[in-house]
Amino acid sequence: MLALDFCGLKFATPLVLLSGCVGFGEEYTRIVGFSNRDAGAVCLKGTTLKARLGNAPHRIAETPDGMLNSIGLQNPGARYVVDKILPQLDFSETRFIANVSGSTVEEYEEVTRIFDDSPIDAIEINISCPNVKEGGVQFGNDPVMSARVVEACRRATKKPLITKLSPNQTDIAENARRCIEAGTDALAVINTLMGMAIDIQKRKPVIGNNQGGLSGPAIKPIALLKVHQVYQVSRPHDIPIIGQGGVTSAHDAIEFLIAGSTAVGVGTALFYDPLICPKINAGIVEYLKRHRLGGVRDLVGSLQLHDHPSAVCTG
């Protein structure tokens, strides 16, 4: 009931362990009872061409119903990951997805080419990175720049490409459309929202980089809306979505499936419950049986909107 096809890859469950939350696939293997088999896929930590030390501390801060992070893409570099880390992963357990990051289009293309010559199952493009050639503007906040990155990565690989979309932009559906036209095979919706926490005694930001990416239950309503909006664009092209943002229960995962996600990402919840995936899987199965559905695919995009909604006005 949980198994599905995602870009030609067989996922045992609809759950995807998100990039940055499970290291390079081994982060939680020391915990008794944890198994990568409970996830359909595991997204490895964001990887750049050369090794990076990351940002100054503090890098993580807990917030009400969420978490801020500003790790700064600390990683040993793409070649090290391919040569030293991938050979240690058990590809019979689950599918493994590389997460590619860069500060120029050329870097994205080169890192993708390195992973193309490896056993990795798919490649996720993290376009929420600053473009150093354009004054630090994030690739993911400009549809034209996003498409350029996707085009470059498409040239470098025949493996499935998943583009991770930023919510910090004016029109995420337009960005999705441009990325689809540029050759992406799937979309991940959404990346973190930018936020801040302040130490009122020091009157300084808690995060060493001043701001960070907000994840966790606080962003789930936003993520659900963005998935629904992107699904309207991706559905005609049969482009699957990994819906993510605040998933902590089977109820949350089912909401994302109904909104249009083919698979569902789990991230921040792993920090306080590393064994949450089998609980979510069991809850999804129970829901499918109770509603007499054959599998998760029967849920995808099944949202029934209310007729004639009025304009949204707050205040």
**289: its two tokens:** 């049986």
**Sign (positive or negative) of CA dihedral 227, 18, 111, 47:** positive
User: Residues 129, 153, 179, 277: which is the catalytic one?
Assistant: 129
Residue 29 to residue 37: CA distance in whole angstroms: 11
Q: What strand order describes the sheet that includes 60-63?
A: 60-63, 66-69, 212-215, 193-195
Contact 27, 20 (CB under 8 A): no
SS3 21: coil
Helix (H, G, I), strand (E, B) or coil at 172: helix
Q: Is 129 a catalytic residue?
A: yes
With beta carbons less than 8 A apart as the criterion, state whether 131 and 138 touch. yes
Long-range Cβ contact pairs of 168-172 (< 8 A, separation 24 or more): 168/128, 168/138, 168/140, 168/141, 168/193, 168/194, 169/140, 169/141, 169/142, 169/143, 171/143, 172/226, 172/229, 172/230
How far is the C-alpha of 301 from the C-alpha of 219, rounded, in Å?
Answer: 20
Of 211, 219, 81, 65, which Cα lies nearest the Cα of 138?
Answer: 211
Active site residues: 129
